[in-house]
Amino acid sequence: MRPPIDSGTVLITGASSGIGRELARQLARRARTLVLVARREERLEVLRDELLEHNPTLGVMVERCDLSHPDEVDSLLDSLHRHLVRVDVLVNSAGLGDYSLYEQESWARIHQMVQVNVTAPLLLTHRLLRRMVERKRGGILNISSGGARTFVPGLAVYAATKHFLDGFTESLRLELMGTGVVVTQVAPGPVDTEFSEVAGTQERVGKAPAWMRISAAQCAREALEGFDRAQPLVHPGMAYRWMMRLSALMPRGVLRAEGLPAARQLRYGTSLLEPAHPDTGQRVLLAGGPEGA
Ligand SMILES: NC(=O)c1ccc[n+]([C@@H]2O[C@H](COP(=O)([O-])OP(=O)(O)OC[C@H]3O[C@@H](n4cnc5c(N)ncnc54)[C@H](OP(=O)(O)O)[C@@H]3O)[C@@H](O)[C@H]2O)c1
């Protein structure tokens, strides 16, 4: 069973940048209509012109929407209804992270991440899925993250939103078995997009090594290949795919231990701690940072 991309209507969130924009470019060769959603309308208009230049028979709708506001998501859905647009495939690509210790994070930013990464995909899926089930054809492509399967100090809220999307997508997929609706989760590792700039990871922890990074075009291509095969989970990029396969075999304790150096670095500025004191059980930093941490 394949998702109804060919000659269908595909709604893509996060189409103004990165993976969402590349998905739009690759889907434009196959779909009848694309609905491009993001806040930066001018970018969506530039993309629309580019797509129409290469695919003159394609229909493209540009929908400016701040997905962190559920009422704007409702307005987007009303607009589709008014224009008699029936969505065959929903691609939830919009998302953001923010690198910070949790207690230092502003509540506004936490709320924004939860709204965009969790509430918006839930709401869009809830509003669009019933018609897909009734028509016995449809597709949901959720872009989560490798962070959905590990623990990521400095990105606790982001990782939690992706853990949520992982559980939701896998469970929804089971619910939809035999209905004609294809559900696929894409969990990339580092992809060269604006994500790390927005999240502040580029500035604070630097870029991931080149062998691990892939381009947004490769990520989109492998995502769509997996979606076409109705794969439950896609890890784009050979190196990252193998890392995630190995990581899936690791006991939880090993995943915790893997995150420790980064957590210490973030809080104390050093990843090295002395062994626990035999009497007090306290550990102190080898260099710098507060004692008794
Ligand atoms: N790049 C990576 O290394 C990586 C790794 C794993 C997973 N991912 C996931 O991949 C997905 C796409 O990210 P990307 O790498 O393509 O990052 P990106 O280049 O920063 O693109 C993020 C997209 O999300 C949209 N967005 C953010 N906040 C929004 C809001 N409030 N309302 C509407 N749209 C909003 C942005 O559009 P506007 O700013 O125009 O609104 C933009 O189009 C995300 O879900 C991310 O978590 C990325």
Give one DSSP letter per residue of 199-264, joined into a string.
HTHHHHH-PPPTTT-EEHHHHHHHHHHHHHTT-SEE--SHHHHHHHHHHHHS-HHHHHHHHHHHHH
Cα separation, 63 vs 219, in Å, equals 24
Catalytic residue (choose from 99, 102, 158, 240): 158
Q: How confident is the model at residue 293 (pLDDT cuts 50, 70, 90)?
A: very low
Residue 108 pLDDT > 50: yes
Please tell me the least confidently modeled range out of 52-56, 111-115, 275-279: 275-279
Residue 191 pLDDT > 60: yes
- Among 19, 36, 119, the mutation site with the greatest number of ligand 1 atoms within 8 A of its Cβ is 19
The Å distance, Cα 25 to ligand 1 centre, comes to: 16
Residue 260 pLDDT > 50: yes
- Among 93, 184, 185, the mutation site with the greatest number of ligand 1 atoms within 8 A of its Cβ is 93
Whether the CB-CB separation of 250 and 231 falls below 8 Å is answered with no
Please tell me the least confidently modeled range out of 20-24, 73-77, 132-136, 262-266: 262-266
Residue 274 pLDDT > 70: no
Please tell me the least confidently modeled range out of 48-62, 125-139, 200-214: 200-214
Cα separation, 102 vs 91, in Å, equals 29
Ligand 1 closest atom vs CA 43: 40
The Å distance, Cα 272 to ligand 1 centre, comes to: 34
Residue 284 pLDDT > 90: no
236 lines ligand 1 (CB under 6 A): no
User: What ranges do the domains of the chain cover?
Assistant: 9-249, 251-293
Instruction: Look at residue 41 in the predicted model and tell me its pLDDT.
Output: 98
The Å distance, Cα 17 to ligand 1 centre, comes to: 7
Query: Is 102 one of the catalytic residues?
Result: no
Residue-averaged pLDDT of the chain: 93
**Could you tell me the maximum CA-CA distance found in the chain, to the nearest angstrom?**
75
Q: How confident is the model at residue 175 (pLDDT cuts 50, 70, 90)?
A: very high
Ligand 1 closest atom vs CA 39: 41
Instruction: Look at residue 280 in the predicted model and tell me its pLDDT.
Output: 65
CATH topology of domain 9-249: Rossmann fold (3.40.50)
Ligand 1 closest atom vs CA 15: 43
The Å distance, Cα 18 to ligand 1 centre, comes to: 7
According to the per-residue pLDDT averaged within each range, which of 126-140, 196-210, 261-275 is highest? 126-140
Burial of 203 (0-12, 13-18, 19+ CB in 10 A): exposed
pLDDT, tens digit (0-9, with 9 covering 90-100), for 55-73: 999 999 999 999 999 999 9
Q: How confident is the model at residue 270 (pLDDT cuts 50, 70, 90)?
A: confident
Q: How confident is the model at residue 272 (pLDDT cuts 50, 70, 90)?
A: low
Cα separation, 60 vs 73, in Å, equals 18
16 lines ligand 1 (CB under 6 A): yes
